[in-house]
Amino acid sequence: MDIKDGRTVKGVNFVDLRDAGDPVELAEIYSREGADELVFLDISATEQKRKTLADLVYRVAEKVNIPFTVGGGISSIEDVDVLLHNGADKVSINSSAVKNPQLINDLVSKFGSQCIVVAIDAKQIEGEWIVHLVGGKVPTERKLFEWAKEVEERGAGEILFTSMDHDGTKDGFANGALARLSGELNIPVIASGGAGTTSHFIDTFKEGKADAALAASVFHFKEIGIGNLKQELRENGIPVRI
């Protein structure tokens, strides 16, 4: 769930955001429907120099009994400490990790790799996957695969890879890039960006070798039911919890 000004939003290619509902209400629904985990990303937190609201984390923790990750504007041990104490199971860092890679080491040393997720937003520029920051607005000199390997070496427990080219398009995940990431890394890779049909999920597990798949609009706007999706995944030989 992308969060902006306390509301769940969804766009296409990281722009043209539209309201998708109250994040706590949606969290309750998805927890009941069988989602394995939830991810809350405050997409305006870094841009506006504003910390992810700890009270949202607290309210979500009161309502759901599945693990959830929180990201957005996290840049210190203190930020993570507040979120974990308010009920988050994991934290996701993105821009702050690129700007200060040592932050990954510091957070892993303090809290353990199991709760440190590094989110990477990337898009293809002249055939290269280039890492972007600040909600996808600022290109960097970092290349996806080199950065992902460094993230792993610094101790992160998971990588959440979002293809900006696929985000919100509903044309399928970036399975080529995902397969390469999965082949080069030894930590779980979460696929994000592009889910539109149940077959897209099947493809990202089989072709993209993803360890997990994240989606937003297809669930927010009731285009795919979580229960039906998990049943279809199981029927296609993909192990899921039902």
Q: Angle between the 77-85 and 54-63 helix axes, to the nearest 10 degrees?
A: 30
Catalytic residue among 16, 19, 106, 121: 121
User: Is 2 an active-site residue?
Assistant: yes
Among this protein's residues, is 19 annotated catalytic?
A: no
Per the residue annotation, which of 2, 42, 167, 203 is the catalytic one? 2
DSSP line for the chain:
-EEETTEEEEEETTEEEEEEE-HHHHHHHHHHHT-S-EEEEETTTTTTT-PPPHHHHHHHHHH--S-EEEESS--SHHHHHHHHHTT-SEEEE-HHHHH-THHHHHHHHHH-GGGEEEEEEEEEETTEEEEEETTTTEEEEEEHHHHHHHHHHTT-SEEEEEETTTTTT-S---HHHHHHHHHH-SS-EEEES---SHHHHHHHHHTS--SEEE--HHHHTTSS-HHHHHHHHHHTT-----
The answer to whether 86 and 58 have CB atoms below 8 angstroms apart is yes
CA 207 → CA 17, 73, 105, 122, 174, distances in Å?
Answer: 30, 33, 31, 19, 10
What are the catalytic residues?
Answer: 2, 121
